Structure 1
């Protein structure tokens, strides 16, 4: 089994420890370690499987033997010792070479497939898929036109702004969370023209719900925080396991099927009337921090899914 993620990923740590306890052989690496401490060599022809291996300083994974790949949050290829043009060229070779090999292992269970993750990480595609699946969505505008943004904020009594994508953003060397924030028409200026922005009608909510779908299993947790964006402060949250309504469960299944995912971390806003409003689905979302306060066996469920890939292939 391969686990592809960065070195600072406690969620993957829990799953690997569980698999180790079960005697499952695991090779973990970060694509960002290529080529310094990570290498790959593969050939094909006369068979439908890649022959070769991926090697770290301490482990070697034979590609023809890989039956499950847990793709989390690798740091990505980077070769900063090269000048910008050469780095751009070399990174493309690594991405489409090594990345392409890892994405084309016959008979391998992907959780999730990196290409399917890439598709699902486009927030506009996720919103369109959510609407088609039957979720209720808040009115949303994606634009770089200031007048359109001002008109949208005036049309709706309360509007929030949030990033469409969240790459690593450092302040004084520390990674930052770009928080959801309220915005009004007077705050919108011509700097909006510089890139695309997402504006959304604020949902009047009583709580949030994070639903983690792992294969056939669904783990829904109500999060009471009193915050507009519960990610900004975890200190006062209260976590309560809940059941997802049947209509929401059907819509989640349809959404995951649309993107070809076997794992998804869904976020909902829960209204006073009990309606679940779709916010987003992260195909590589975090979940392990909710396990201790709820007792939900999510680590075991993820290990079951991955181990099942070994048995079934």
Structure 2
């Protein structure tokens, strides 16, 4: 079946992305043409991609087993969670490394440069927005409250920061870890005892932050100018640790926070952002982070559905 009609939505994500499925069902109901592909996987298993550059400009075609998409006719790109680029499975060693790097720079470069397409979010802005130091600096510039934070490789500096205050440690990136039994491990946010800080801190940067005496957390999902704030109540410091204990409730966003979030999205070049806040008894919202590709579809339907519709609106009718 060929689908080269103008105005297709291109969705780049892995085959297990159930969050994308929620939005794609809405787009299907609206009869919006959609092409879903996971380039790192599909281009090694039947799909193909070609781009041409000449006096007429840029053009090209993405072909999957069920679609042929003219790259000039993409109204929007949802860069969700595609698999990392790699070489084909029959290559190894330097050959696989070479092929993987060509995929990253070639395929990634083509799909990040579609003429006239609206990106949610553009991959270069996603990568820029994933750096926690950049997030903290942008949040401060945009007027958000940020807990006192230090990022250091210096054990003495880490001990000084954590001494005399309640401080927490959180990783700068959720690197995959597996134990000796090949069981997946997660590094949770945890309170730090200065006595536990050893010289091994010098192996890599560590992020320490003043603990916010919160009464609840907020996941604020921003889709363009539309904000969806959800109160998350949990007995855990890191609410992700026991999601079976969570309760959810939609809440309003303070005007000052909404204005700062809008500035943050503009400065970081983002259309979508999943913001995490800790809220104190005094009603102060403390910025913790913003994930440019954050999750939201685990919420109850009454919270998930409005977010999914907003994303479908953004993809169908880019502003």
Q: TM-score, normalised by structure 2?
A: 0.92
The superposition leaves residues 271-299 of structure 1 with CA deviations (integer Å, 9 ceiling, x where unpaired) of: 01010000000000011122415465111
- Count of residue pairs brought into register by the alignment: 308
Partner of 1:166: 174
Please give the secondary structure, in 2, of the residue aligned with 1:298. helix
Task: Please name the residue that 1:12 is paired with.
Answer: 20
Residue ranges of structure 1 left out of the alignment (5+ in a row): none
Corresponding position of 1:132 = 141
Match of 2:217 among 190, 194, 208: 208
Partner of residue 66, structure 2: 58
Q: What aligned pairs does 1:35-46 form with structure 2 within 5 A after superposition?
A: 35-37=43-45, 38-46=47-55
- Matched-pair contact (CA < 8 Å) for 1:268–1:277: yes
Q: Superposition RMSD on alpha carbons, in Å?
A: 1.7
User: Contact (CA 8 Å) 2:276, 2:287: kept in 1 or not?
Assistant: yes
2:98 is the alignment partner of 1:97: no
Mapping 1:1-313, distance limit 5 Å:
1-33=9-41, 35-37=43-45, 38-48=47-57, 50-79=58-87, 81-155=90-164, 157-171=165-179, 175-294=184-303, 297-309=306-318
- Asked if the contact 1:219–1:296 (Cα under 8 Å) also holds between the matched residues in 2, the reply is no
- The 1-side partners of 2:67 and 2:304 are apart by 33
Which stretch shows the higher mean deviation, 162-171 or 128-137?
A: 162-171
Report if aligned partners of 2:223, 2:310 keep a CA contact under 8 Å in 1: yes
SS at match of 1:7: coil
Q: TM-score, normalised by structure 1?
A: 0.93
The equivalent residue for 2:6 is none
Query: What are the superposed Cα offsets for residues 190-219 of structure 1, whole Å, 9 maximum, x if unpaired?
Result: 221111111111111000001001112110
What stretches of structure 2 of length at least 5 have no aligned partner?
1-8
